[in-house]
A and B are shown apart, each in its own frame.
Chain A
Amino acid sequence: DVKVTQSSRYLVKRTGEKVFLECVQDMDHENMFWYRQDPGLGLRLIYFSYDVKMKEKGDIPEGYSVSREKKERFSLILESASTNQTSMYLCASSYPSGYSGTTNTGELFFGEGSRLTVL
């Protein structure tokens, strides 16, 4: 069974703390993504990675960074957590995309999510 595993289902942190959210996939996918989900806003892309040590900014990268040292693992880092980063964080992975300029219809496989509360 394909699986994307997020390390923590629930976290409570204080403002200014450094937060690590870890994600591991067992499907040998090249692409990995971090989204945040807020009511009424849907899923918004924070960062994604299409290969080891490669990363690209998504739509809302401010306040976040990522690390992809191994193909199966993609970490999201909040250097100094703030209350407006309270949210549900979803990790996803997918098979490789087409070449640049072409489109990709690849299915995203999601983890169960990490609900972060910053006090």
Chain B
Amino acid sequence: TQLLEQSPQFLSIQEGENLTVYCNSSSVFSSLQWYRQEPGEGPVLLVTVVTGGEVKKLKRLTFQFGDARKDSSLHITAAQPGDTGLYLCAADTTDSWGKLQFGAGTQVVVTP
């Protein structure tokens, strides 16, 4: 059983459409990170959210951390082909040393 459940697993949309990816857990986290992984590359950090209810924007990407710090969402407005990739959420475990637990990821494909 995954500590972090991501949905949907796969999303295929046309350029210009909007999309939302979800990351849910029954555990409370002090922070949560979103990464994007492109084919043949390692994941790259997009954002870290720390405060319950926090909203962060990165150009057309909007990230939200749930009030209870158990869930998060990533919303992309007017998606572009360059947004294609595997989106992963990750959260720090309750112990130290910076270990992160990852969700299974959402594969996003944006076609022109």
Q: In the bound complex, what is the Cα–Cα distance between A45 and B44 (angstroms)?
A: 17
A70 to B31, CA, bound (A): 30
B73 within 8 A of A: no
Does A74 make an interface contact (CB < 8 A)? no
How many A-B Cβ pairs are below 8 Å? Answer: 82
Contact for B97 among A35, A104, A111, CB less than 8 A:
A104
Chain B, residue nearest A38 (CB): B104
- What is the bound-complex CA distance between A56 and B95, given in angstroms? 12
Which residues of B, 32-87, contact A by the 8 Å Cβ criterion? 33, 35, 40-45, 48, 50
- The contact of B99 among A58, A98, A111, A112, by CB within 8 Å, is A58
Please tell me which one of the listed residues A35, A41, A94, A113 contacts residue B98 in the complex, with CB atoms under 8 A apart. Answer: A94
| Across-interface contacts of A112 in B (CB, < 8 A) | 40-42
Q: Cβ of A116 < 8 Å from any Cβ of B?
A: no
B interface residues, how many (CB within 8 angstroms): 31
Chief secondary structure at chain A's binding surface: loop
The minimal Cβ–Cβ distance linking B112 to chain A, given in whole angstroms, is: 25
Assuming the A-B contacts A43-B102, A105-B30, A105-B50, are A110 and B43 also in contact, with contact meaning beta carbons closer than 8 angstroms in the complex? yes
Contacts of B35 in A (CB 8 A): 108
Which residues in A have their C-beta under 8 angstroms from that of B97? 31, 48, 50, 56, 97, 104
A104 touching B92, Cβ below 8 Å: yes
Interface string of A2-35 (1 = CB under 8 A from B): 0010000000000000000000000000010101
- Of the candidates B33, B40, B96, B101, the one whose C-beta lies within 8 Å of that of A102 is B96
Interface residues of B (CB under 8 A from A): 2, 4, 6, 9, 30-31, 33, 35, 40-45, 48, 50, 88, 90, 92, 94-105
Q: Could you give 16 example pairs across A and B, Cβ below 8 Å?
A: A31-B98, A42-B2, A42-B102, A43-B88, A43-B102, A45-B100, A50-B97, A50-B98, A100-B95, A101-B96, A105-B30, A105-B92, A110-B42, A110-B43, A110-B44, A112-B41
